[in-house]
A and B are shown apart, each in its own frame.
Chain A
């Protein structure tokens, strides 16, 4: 296959055909932030923080999935791009509990996101903690909606399809079919989703509760309590 030559931030770079703008920029050691991109998954191209300015393109272009074309002129840090990254991180922080996602927090800081810029009274992701199976908890107040767990559960890894997207707009969220508890879903407890989750929304159950300060005995009591709760229903 032939190579492709393009210009990124004034420097000429040659990559092999099919390489993305992100790969090309990284070859030049240009720093582009990414949130939803993971090299082992199909790029969902939805967080948009990796956008760059491509000359002649009306809007900014996501570098993680856009394939480099010969002659493209790309700017990875123009004022438009900088504003976009800053505001995107401000948006994310305004909606999601990022306390268990230090990497995303660090990126937000790097790009100058102002905490609470949208005000304190705005709507945030609000979900109860789903502690419905022995292996992992689901804390969707921390979910950034990167889709990676769905990809891991489905076509990128496991082909189990226990979880998928539900709702839409701001209310879009990850759910089992009809919201049933995990044990009633098709979940096979492979753990791929927990491994893949970048935000701390999915965590191994025991580790999660121990971090909350519960010791193993208490943890057993928590589960018993739950079972009692359930038997009442």
Chain B
């Protein structure tokens, strides 16, 4: 059901006012951490809370933070004089992934525009625990209002001593820089994002080494999604038990879903994990537009999977969606009604991946092009739906083999997911 764990301030407070954020309990969490003597406790709490990344890959956040905190500082650095003792042996970075380019996804934007301080507090708490002095926000280039809100927030925080040197204590220094993307989907992939910040071509690196070990500038790095950071102040203050009271056993907490397409009230909704998809569509989003019937739902964005109309009772949790062969991905829910020619949607998705592949690895560089060509061949000369008999068996096998090998061998998540939606539509006989 609906729950306002991280969206409580949205639309209620002035997003440009630090005082308004403070009045809602803002920066209590950071103060709590800075005043504590046992710091490992907070990372353990984060692990126990069971928060997993909201960027798409669903990696346990606490585990990630612990890995980075424990990573060997592989680049001992000549620290300038003002650097407090606790940083002299550490050299890690905090990065907020705000590239938000997944199709149908707009939750990070809503958070950054409506409650920027919460995200920055989450990053600052993480920085304190990881002994990081520098943070980056990699922001989708098109997000102008978010850029203004964040820039303003950073200026205010610096002026009021919540960023910069001596934050709440003499030995805590941290500041955040914004880097704006230039429109490449691939630059949301964490290692391509690092390359981009480093001023290189946005091409992913082979993993391992993982970012927690060798990330930005080859140093241990904690990279999280905007929504992930937005959860951290709450968990820090309320603790893991309070957090786990929401959601399901395996997917605690809430999730912001982005509903778009043929519904009456498209938008971003914070829901408790495990809420049935039907509730989101019929109650929150107000049901389908009048006079239309449900044809399919694309969940998780372009990298996600199609669901059939009879699957809308699925609980929206990681385990619930996995059980029917889908993933939660970025939280995008695109509702497609019966007026749409789904082949057209598949072509559009194939074109998206062809255009966004960075071209580094063979399976994605060539496979995304071939996937598009196969679909173009299939749909050529058909203005209406294809019949099953229109599709030659060898073309279908080729589409499957091509997709399977992209999924299995691609260097990064882009190629690994580029055939998900298309093959799921074929397998579920949504297109024929």
Contact = CB atoms under 8 A, between A and B. Distances in A.
B366 A170 contact: yes
Interface in A139-175: 145, 165, 167-172
Contacts of B407: 59
A46 B367 CA distance: 13
Interface stretch (A22-30, A84-92, A176-184): A84-92
B245 interface: no
A42 to B, nearest CB: 10
Contact of A122 (B354, B358, B373): B373
A129 to B, nearest CB: 22
Nearest to B415: A48
A65 B206 CA distance: 8
Counting chain B residues whose Cβ lies within 8 A of the other chain, the interface size class is 35 or more
Nearest to A35: B362
Contacts of A59: 407-410, 416
Contact of A169 (B355, B404, B405): B355
Nearest to A36: B362
A118 B361 contact: no
A92 B366 CA distance: 7
Interface majority SS (helix, strand, loop, mixed), chain B = helix
Nearest to B202: A168
Contacts of A145: 359, 362, 365
Contacts of A66: 208
A169 B356 contact: yes
Interface string B336-368: 000000000000000000111111111101111
Interface residues of A, number: 36
A32 to B, nearest CB: 13
Contact of A168 (B357, B402, B411): B357
B366 A172 contact: no
B366 A47 contact: no
Interface in B353-397: 354-363, 365-370, 373-374, 377
Interface in A27-50: 43-49
B365 A118 contact: no
Nearest to B360: A46
Contacts of A221: none
B401 interface: yes
A45 to B, nearest CB: 4
A138 B351 CA distance: 30
B408 A95 contact: no
A45 B411 contact: yes
Given A88-B362, A91-B362, A92-B362, A48 B398 contact: no
B206 A170 contact: no
A72 to B, nearest CB: 13
B204 to A, nearest CB: 10
Contacts of A47: 361-362
A117 B402 CA distance: 11
B357 A62 contact: no
Interface string A58-92: 01101001110000000000001001100110011
A123 interface: yes
B369 A46 contact: no
B155 interface: no
B75 interface: no
Given A91-B367, A118-B398, A122-B370, A48 B356 contact: no
Given A87-B401, A170-B368, A48 B357 contact: no
Contacts of B369: 95, 122-123, 169-170
A213 interface: no
A83 B408 CA distance: 10
B359 A48 contact: no
A123 B365 CA distance: 12
Interface in B153-171: none
B366 A95 contact: yes
B206 A45 contact: yes
Given A83-B401, A169-B358, A91 B201 contact: no
A203 interface: no
B405 A83 contact: yes
Contacts of B374: 118
A87 B366 CA distance: 11
Interface in B176-190: 184, 186
A87 B405 CA distance: 7
A94 interface: yes
Nearest to A169: B357
A54 to B, nearest CB: 12
A60 B359 contact: no
A206 to B, nearest CB: 32
Contacts of B206: 43, 45, 62, 65
Contacts of B186: 168
A119 interface: yes
Contacts of B408: 51, 59-60, 80, 84
- Which 5 residue pairs of A and B lie closest in terms of their CB atoms, listed nearest first? A172-B359, A169-B357, A170-B369, A91-B366, A87-B405
Interface of A: 43-49, 51, 59-60, 62, 65-67, 80, 83-84, 87-88, 91-92, 94-95, 117-119, 122-123, 145, 165, 167-172
23 contacts: A45-B411, A48-B409, A48-B410, A48-B411, A59-B408, A59-B416, A62-B411, A83-B404, A84-B408, A87-B405, A91-B367, A91-B405, A92-B366, A94-B366, A95-B369, A118-B370, A123-B369, A123-B373, A145-B362, A168-B186, A168-B357, A169-B354, A169-B368
